């Protein structure tokens, strides 16, 4: 039986199952998968917890680290102008399987960015989950159409939320296995990403990475939101963003099913006073200044881990949580300029060091021309220097002072190789 779906005009994932009796039946049907999730978690999670701080960092290049999610239905011409203004190199583009009749439109949209590194987010619907032959046929069309222009495809999205179509990890694994077989039969260079678990629910990730299916992920994708905890430095069950990444990396290292590559393909914060476009209640929303600060700090913390290959902000144009508000014309939010500053100062730089002490965060990057130190603090701190120090604030304003006032808004201190430090 195929469940109905409906369009949510305020969501970037419009396919939502809203038939509650159908959901209940499907959950009961998948009871074996829930047991497998439980036992795999009991086995793997303790080992991962022990190893998470012992596994060394990798060398992550910042050139393609700063990613952005864009959609075909969000004013393609404007989107192209904004991407060019930001000088982004790394993009994620969604393709819903229920829009197969528009595949040529998506190909044309993707070709607009053929010089970029593109990941396709292949979004599922119940029709394709239930019909393996249709899934196989349509995946062949998708891979054939997109593969000349992209780096890889994220297979599925938000697999641990029934309203998006999957009722268990086992269902997702069967879905992913069709994609994996399609790749092996004719697209060996195409990277496949999964399992796209949303939030800090790693028991689902563990099951997706420890199972008896003949599959492999070229990279692990995660929708690692922390917005409901406020600032990215805040904790959930004792885990801040850094520790969540460390644990996810440990799980990936242990898995025989995945390469040690992690892509955070979706994260953001909902913005106050944007209902009904914000995806949460007003209680979880933040003001635009906090949104900009949290966004930059999320990227900085994720890069400082040296365990995440790219972070894709969700997304460029969206009234409730994007860098651009398009409700009444086009409004570039503060976060747009904060993102632009971050790219201009850090893209192409190499990780040097990361120190956290007394709620003061210091990330240092360097290249053969300069060293850039980014600092922020969770409580106001004033640092006195011997001379005037030139620095940039979060939005690229050039400032100078003998005193640095540090707050939750990151600043950039740039030292040329021949200049003096504070």
Whether the pLDDT of residue 357 is over 90: the answer is: yes
Q: pLDDT tens digits for 380-409?
A: 999 998 888 889 999 999 999 988 999 999
Q: 141 phi and psi, to 5 degrees?
A: -65, -45
Whether the pLDDT of residue 3 is over 70: the answer is: no
DSSP tag of 358? T
Return the structure tokens found at 216.
């492999």
Residue 4 pLDDT grade (very low, low, confident, very high; cuts 50, 70, 90) = very low
Q: 11 phi and psi, to 5 degrees?
A: -120, 145
* HEC secondary structure over 254-306: HCCCECCCEEECCCCCCECCCCCCCCCCHHHCECHHHHHHHHHHHHHHHHHHC
CATH number at residue 364: 2.60.40
Specify whether the backbone of 102 is left (phi greater than 0), alpha (psi in -120 to 50) or beta: alpha
* Least reliable range by pLDDT among 14-23, 106-115, 126-135, 387-396: 14-23
Residue 2 pLDDT grade (very low, low, confident, very high; cuts 50, 70, 90) = very low
Distance CA(293)–CA(223), nearest Å, equals: 20
Distance CA(109)–CA(24), nearest Å, equals: 39
* Count of structural domains within the chain: 2
**Domain presence at residue 395:** yes
Terminus-to-terminus CA distance in the chain, angstroms? 68
Distance CA(284)–CA(208), nearest Å, equals: 29
Look-up of token digits 């829930």: 34
Position 15 scores a pLDDT of: 61
Mean pLDDT score across all residues of the chain: 93
CATH number at residue 81: 3.20.20.80
Residue 422 pLDDT grade (very low, low, confident, very high; cuts 50, 70, 90) = low
**Domain presence at residue 10:** no
Q: What's the whole-number mean pLDDT along residues 188-207?
A: 97
Q: 15 phi and psi, to 5 degrees?
A: -80, 115
Report the length, in residues, of the chain. 422
Position 12 scores a pLDDT of: 53
- Residue that terminates a domain, selected from 348, 366, 387: 348
* Least reliable range by pLDDT among 31-35, 169-173, 287-291, 353-357: 31-35
Instruction: Assess contact for 67 and 312: CB atoms under 8 A.
Output: yes
3-state class (DSSP) for residue 137 = helix
**Domain presence at residue 48:** yes
pTM of the model: 0.93
H or E stretch covering 371: strand 370-377
Position 10 scores a pLDDT of: 34
* Least reliable range by pLDDT among 11-15, 263-267, 282-286: 11-15
Q: pLDDT tens digits for 14-32?
A: 566 667 777 677 777 778 9
Strand partners, 131: none
Whether the pLDDT of residue 8 is over 50: the answer is: no
Same domain, 343 and 356: no
Say whether the peptide bond before residue 358 is cis (omega within 30 degrees of 0).
no
- Radius of gyration over alpha carbons of the chain, in Å? 22
Instruction: Assess contact for 149 and 120: CB atoms under 8 A.
Output: no
Q: pLDDT tens digits for 207-256?
A: 999 999 999 999 999 999 999 999 999 999 999 999 999 999 999 999 99
Whether the pLDDT of residue 206 is over 90: the answer is: yes
Same domain, 203 and 175: yes
Q: What's the whole-number mean pLDDT along residues 300-318?
A: 98
Whether the pLDDT of residue 11 is over 60: the answer is: no
Pairing of strands 331-332, 324-325: antiparallel
Same domain, 257 and 337: yes
Q: What's the whole-number mean pLDDT along residues 347-358?
A: 96
Whether the pLDDT of residue 274 is over 60: the answer is: yes
Position 418 scores a pLDDT of: 56
Domain that holds residue 397: 352-416
**Domain presence at residue 2:** no
């Amino acid at each position: 039986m195929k469940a109905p779906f409906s369009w949510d005009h305020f969501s970037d994932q419009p396919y939502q199952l809203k038939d509650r009796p159908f959901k209940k039946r499907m959950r009961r049907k998948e009871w074996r998968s829930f047991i497998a999730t439980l036992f795999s978690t009991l086995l793997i999670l303790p080992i991962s917890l022990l190893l998470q701080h012992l596994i060394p960092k990798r060398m992550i290049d910042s050139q393609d680290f700063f990613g952005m999610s864009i959609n075909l239905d969000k004013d393609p011409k404007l989107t192209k102008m904004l991407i060019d203004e930001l000088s982004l190199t790394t993009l994620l583009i969604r393709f819903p399987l229920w829009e197969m009749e528009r595949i040529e439109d998506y190909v044309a949209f993707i070709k607009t960015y053929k010089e970029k590194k593109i990941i396709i987010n292949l979004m599922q619907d119940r029709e394709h989950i239930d019909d393996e032959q249709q899934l196989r046929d349509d995946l062949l069309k998708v891979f054939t159409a997109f593969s000349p222009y992209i780096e890889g495809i994220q297979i599925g999205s938000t697999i641990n939320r029934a309203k998006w179509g999957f009722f268990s990890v086992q269902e997702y694994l069967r879905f992913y296995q069709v994609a994996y077989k399609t790749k092996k039969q004719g697209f060996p260079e195409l990277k496949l990403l999964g399992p796209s678990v949303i939030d800090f629910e790693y028991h689902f990730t563990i099951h997706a990475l420890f199972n008896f299916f003949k599959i492999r992920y070229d990279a692990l994708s995660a929708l690692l939101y922390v917005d409901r905890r406020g600032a990215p430095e805040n904790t959930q069950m004792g885990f801040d963003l850094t520790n969540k990444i460390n644990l996810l990396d440990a799980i990936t290292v242990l898995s025989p099913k995945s390469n040690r590559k992690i892509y955070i393909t979706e994260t953001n914060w909902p913005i106050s006073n944007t209902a009904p476009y914000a995806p949460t209640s007003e209680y979880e929303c933040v003001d635009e200044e906090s949104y900009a600060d949290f966004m930059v700090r999320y990227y900085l913390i994720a890069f400082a881990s040296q365990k995440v290959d790219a972070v894709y902000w969700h997304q460029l144009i969206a009234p409730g949580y994007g860098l651009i508000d398009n409700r009444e014309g086009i409004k570039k939010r503060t976060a747009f300029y904060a993102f632009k500053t971050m790219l201009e100062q850090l893209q192409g730089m190499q990780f040097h060091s990361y120190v956290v002490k007394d709620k003061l965060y210091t990330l240092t990057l360097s290249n053969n021309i300069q060293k850039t130190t980014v600092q922020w603090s969770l409580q106001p701190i004033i640092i006195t220097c011997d001379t005037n120090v030139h620095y940039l604030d979060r939005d690229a304003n050039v400032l100078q002072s003998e005193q640095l006032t540090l707050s939750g808004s990151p600043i950039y201190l740039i030292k040329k190789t021949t200049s003096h430090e504070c």
